[in-house]
Amino acid sequence: MWCRCCPGGVSRSTRVPRYPSDMSEAEWAVTEPVLPAPAWKQGRGGRPAEHCRRDIIDAIRYLVKEGIQWRAMPADLPPWQTVYDVLDGWQESGATEAMHGELRRQCRIAAGRKPEPSAAIIDSQSVKAAETVAKGSRGFDAGNHAGPRRSTAGNGTSPSTRSACC
């Protein structure tokens, strides 16, 4: 198994895949190239990490799939502190967003679509409303402290059509 993060390009991982969330070879072949290069490979100093990035990704996927607490990470995965620190570093540097964007682009191309989406749909049941909007059209949501405005776009009724048909 090859890996850019490990010295010699060969994964040092001795972990046997055992969870449904573990990556297949095909998934790793797509995911590995979009991971940020390790600092020691970029000439920024440091030493190779103790754990292969594939193990880190498997741990993140396990955490997300199983919905466990960080400290409940199984013993055959890297320590939760290591996984947390790596993920936190990737999020701070913007690497997770870049990885997500690149993987989305590859999926769109594989599906025969344009690499970038051409439109976005924003759907919300409540949107923030200015104080100048009449209270009657704002609605009330006990859990929302932003002062929601009743959305009429999703259900096809506007205040004018509601009064006309009722």
β-partners of residue 149 are: 127
Question: Residue 160: in which H helix or E strand, if any?
Answer: helix 159-165
> What 3-state class would DSSP assign to 137?
helix
**Predicted TM-score of the model (pTM):** 0.64
Q: Who has greater pLDDT, 131 or 64? A: 64
Other Cβ atoms closer than 10 A to 159? 11
Q: d(Cα 58, Cα 61) in Å, to the nearest integer?
A: 5
Q: What pLDDT, on the 0 to 100 scale, is given for residue 102?
A: 87
Length of the chain: 166
Q: Could you tell me the pLDDT band of residue 159, with boundaries at 50, 70 and 90?
A: very low
Segment 74-132, tens digit of pLDDT: 999 999 999 999 999 889 988 889 888 888 998 999 999 999 888 877 766 555 666 67
